[in-house]
Structure formats: C-alpha cells, structure tokens
Amino acid sequence: MAGKYTGTTDRMTWGQIWTLTVSCGAVALVVAAMAALNTALADLARDTGATQSQLTWIVDGYTLALACLLLPSGALGDRYGRRGLLIVGLLVFGLASAAPILLDSPTEIIAARAVAGIGAALVMPATLSILTASFPATQRAKAVGIWSGVAGSGGVAGLIGSGLLLEKWSWHAIFIGLAVASAVLFVLAFSIPSSRDEHPYSFDIPGAVLSAGSIGLFVLGIIEAPQRGWLDPWVLAAIVGGIAAGVVFAVVEARTEHPLLDVRLFRNRTFGVGAVSLLMQFLATFGLFFLIVQHLQLVLDYSPLQSALALAPIAVVVLALSVAAPWLIPRIGLRVLTFVGLAVLGVALAMLGQLDADSSYRDVAVPLLIAAVGLGLCTAPATTAIVQNTPTAKQGVASAVNDATREIGAAIGVALAGSVLAAGYGRNIAPAVDAVPEQAKQPVGDSLAAALEVSKLAGPQGQQLADFARESFLQGMQEASLALAGVMLVSAVVLGIWAPGGRGIAALDEGAEAHSLAEVD
C-alpha cells in the first residue's frame, strides 16, 4: 500500500458541483424512502386493513430488495455504465412509487415497495461510483464527505418530508412525493457524465446469485426475528442459510478469475475497517431511530411531524462534520476517528436509556446531538476508506459494499432494538396484562401503542393503565439502549485496535496492486 490523502483546497468546477448535486439528490431520495412510511403506518392500517405483519413488510419489503441486489447492481454499473444504471433505477423507482396511488390492497403495496427497492438498488451504488470516477483523487474525499453526510441524514429528511405531507394530506401524498422527486431526478440524470470499466469482464453470474441469496436470506431472518423470536426455526434457518451462502460466496469468488467482489480486498485493513465501521454506525443509528421515534410519539405525545422535526438537528450535525471530513482525515486518521466516533455513539445510546416519563425535549436532544457528533466523525472516513482502497474500474462494487453494509447494519439495529424492547416491555407489563379483561390482554401485552388505545376505553382505570404501560416501555427502552451501547463500545475498541495507525487514510496504489487484484485499468 502507498500514499495518503492529504486534503486539498482546490475548488470544484460548476460541472462537478452539478454532478455532486444530482448524485446526492438521488441517494437522499432512496434513503428517505426507507424511513418515510414509518409516519403513515397508522393511516395505512386504517385505510387498507393491513395487519401488523403486512405493515412491517410495507416498510421492510423495500429494504430487503435493496440490500440483496446492491452488489450485482454495482457490478452492472461498472460493466454497462453508471449513469445508465442510475437512470434506469430512477425510472423503476418512480413507477413503483407511483403504483400505490392507485392500489388499495396491502399485498399490492408490499409488491410495489419491493419493486421500488429494486430500483433503489440500481440507484444507490451508481450515485457514489459516479462521483468517485468523476472527481480527481485530490478532490474525491471532499465529494465523498458530502455524499456521506447526505446519505447519513437522508432518513431524517424522509421523516420530516412525510410528516409535513401528512399534516394536510393522506398517506398517498408520500408516494406522490417520491414519484415526483424521482421524475425530476430522472430528467436531471441525463445531464451528468457517465463512466464505466474500460476493460469489462464477463458478468459473474454465480457471484451475483450467491451474494443476493446470502444477503437476502440473512436480512430476511433479521427482519423476521423480532416478530417470530430469535430461536424460531424459520428465523434460524434464514440466518444460518444466509451465513452459509456468504461462506460459499467467499470461496467461489476467491477462485474466480474475474469475481463480482474480490474478497481479497478485505485483507486490506483500511478497507475492512471502513466496511465494518459503516455496518456498526447504521446498526446504532437505526436502532436509535426505532426507539426514539416511539418515545417522542407515545411518551411525549408528539405528532409525526413534531417527532421528525425533533430529529432534524442530527442531520445538520452529521452533514457539517461529513463536509469537514477532508480536513479531519489527514490530521487525525482513520483509527482515532473510528474509535472516537463509535465510542461517542455508544455513550449517546447509554444516555438515551436514562430517559423517563418526566423527560423534556431538552433531555432527548442532548443524547441525540451527541449521537450525531459520533456518527458525523466516522461516517465519511469509513466511506473514504472503502473507495480509496478499491481500484477505479471497480468503484461500482466499492459503492455497493458501502451501501450493503449500511443496509445490513440498519436491519440488525432495528431487529436488536426491537427484540430487546419487546422482551423488556412484555416482562414489565405482565402484571397489567393479568389484570385487564381477556379481550384486552393481547393488545396490552403487544405494544405501548396498543395499550394506550385500550386505556382510552378503560374508563377510570385508563390513566393508570397508560402510565403503567409507559413505564414498562421505558424499562424496555432502557434495556435496548444499553444493549446497543454495549455493542458500540465493544466495536469501538475492536476497530480501534484493527484500524491502521497514522494520520490520513492509506490509498490503493493501483500500479502496485494491479497484479494481486487481477485488475486492468
């Protein structure tokens, strides 16, 4: 390995700024679509008759399709052209997002969301690989930093946008908004430059099938675990099957002359630390979102828009620190930024677990801002570590690795937080479940939201039930927050030891590595 990124003060051209704007707009759209529907689930259930399981899949069908197709999509962009893949992806995403406007069946909406996830899988790696191929090495970290900040804060933007739309219109407005934004970006995408591998090899079909199967099965098991239980045979089969397929994928790719993903890249400590760091960041972030949105709406009684706006400071801090990443990286280095960022995230999650029924927004805002600082310190360096250590011709695959680790981390974070929260809530609410009528036992035991609905019909005892349910929720939330905090603090130590020392981020010397990675520029 040779070379370090030393930063630059070079100004971007107007063409580069335009390419960056369109690429960031596209990644913000697909990330926002992951979170946007969380604010409309109650309305969807009322209007379509969707069950709790169907509501879960309206959200997760998108995530599953996106996660399992990222690696093949990145390779397709390298082979056939990244701008073309972006345009096709935006078209598919836009049409699928528009479909629920005319649909009223939960099953049809789930199918439309899955197709939108396919479109998003084409879009997401293309946005980053277009930037890394379009910007010279001296400006790449700046562009990647801005992209990382936008991607890291896109979920909050989705919550705010959907909350604003629901203030005046129905849930259909969210799908209209996604479709319109996609149509605008579809037109604009024709104006940005394209790139691809100048010496493409045949598409690695076995690698594509194994990677999709591995990630798809693993994420499917993680998604189903909170509802079915972690020891459910179906869940265990999916998770173990996904891991087994991943092992087979690694073996096959190591023996393939021109693999979809050269697994030898993970021998590079900088590349490996960047990938694992992103997974842990999104595990913490989406676990935090899962907990805090419920706290804001069910404990503090915020509306969907109020809860989304309460999270807005996170986006501002993350974006600001990501933009500052080109200045921070050469002065501090990957090891310190990764360790400090993940540790700060862990501290913020531990503080989140101390909230109680009397907490004000100020008490909520402090751990949120601390979490934003932690995320902002390590998200852009992690993405930079991946793209700087992947050959230029394979930037689509690098972008897909970057995106896949985010999606897998998000799925694990929600599943872990949801499982621990459900277990803690169920254990603490048990005395109240024993005391309510038979027909109310299941909803009271299921969730705080259902218990609050029952409390409205419970007469004079309703307030007592609501208070007890909130306290049970807070106990479960504390346990979930501390579990996530423990995971992050351990990860900070492990990655801090694993990460290469020194300032900056070592960049791949393609001339020196061409033979070992079997690359042709």
- The answer to whether 63 and 117 have CB atoms below 8 angstroms apart is yes
Residue-wise burial string across 207-224, b where 16 or more C-beta atoms lie within 10 A, e elsewhere: bbebbbbbbbbbbbbbbb
pLDDT tens for the 521 residues of the chain, in order? 333 334 444 678 888 889 999 999 999 999 999 888 877 877 787 788 776 667 778 888 898 888 888 888 888 887 888 899 999 999 999 999 999 888 878 899 999 999 999 999 999 888 888 887 788 877 877 888 888 888 878 888 888 888 888 888 888 999 999 999 999 999 999 998 887 767 667 778 888 899 889 988 988 888 888 778 888 999 999 999 999 999 999 999 888 888 888 888 888 889 999 999 999 998 998 889 888 888 888 888 888 788 888 888 888 898 888 888 888 888 888 899 999 999 999 999 999 988 888 888 899 999 999 999 999 999 889 988 888 887 776 777 777 888 888 888 888 888 888 888 888 888 888 888 887 778 778 778 877 877 887 888 767 778 888 888 889 989 999 999 999 999 999 999 999 999 887 765 665 554 444 444 443 33
- The answer to whether 43 and 166 have CB atoms below 8 angstroms apart is yes
Q: Which pLDDT score is estimated for 5?
A: 38
Q: Coil, helix or strand for 190?
A: coil
Tokens of 231: 């020891």
What gap in Å lies between CA 200 and CA 241, rounded to an integer? 31
Whole-model pTM: value is 0.83
Q: What is the CA radius of gyration of the chain?
A: 23
Q: Which pLDDT score is estimated for 259?
A: 84
The CA-atom distances, in angstroms, between 317 and each of 38, 269, 455 are: 23, 28, 39
User: DSSP assignment of 101-138, as one string?
Assistant: GT---HHHHHHHHHHHHHHHHHHHHHHHHHHHHHS-HH
User: DSSP assignment of 278-347, as one string?
Assistant: HHHHHHHHHHHHHHHHHIIIIIS---HHHHHHHTHHHHHHHHHHHHTHHHHHHHH-HHHHHHHHHHHHHH
What gap in Å lies between CA 208 and CA 202, rounded to an integer? 12
Tokens of 382: 């992690």
Closest-CA residue to 289 (of 248, 349, 201, 232): 349
Amino acid 237 reads A
Closest-CA residue to 407 (of 218, 245, 274): 218
What gap in Å lies between CA 219 and CA 240, rounded to an integer? 11
Q: Coil, helix or strand for 68?
A: helix
What gap in Å lies between CA 79 and CA 209, rounded to an integer? 17
The CA-atom distances, in angstroms, between 252 and each of 60, 259, 266, 369 are: 29, 8, 15, 44
Tokens of 240: 């173990």
Which of left, alpha, beta for 195 (phi over 0: left; psi -120 to 50: alpha)? beta
Amino acid 364 reads V
Show the CA angle centred on residue 172, arms to residues 166 and 177, nearest 5°: 80
What gap in Å lies between CA 199 and CA 48, rounded to an integer? 50
Closest-CA residue to 33 (of 222, 181, 136): 181
Tokens of 175: 């799908």
Q: Which pLDDT score is estimated for 239?
A: 93
Show the CA angle centred on residue 184, arms to residues 182 and 188, nearest 5°: 110
User: DSSP assignment of 431-466, as one string?
Assistant: HHHHHS-HHHHHHHHH-HHHHHHHHHTSGGGHHHHH
Give the CA count within 13 Å in the CB-facing half-sphere of 498.
19
Q: Coil, helix or strand for 216?
A: helix
Tokens of 36: 């946007």
Q: Coil, helix or strand for 4?
A: strand
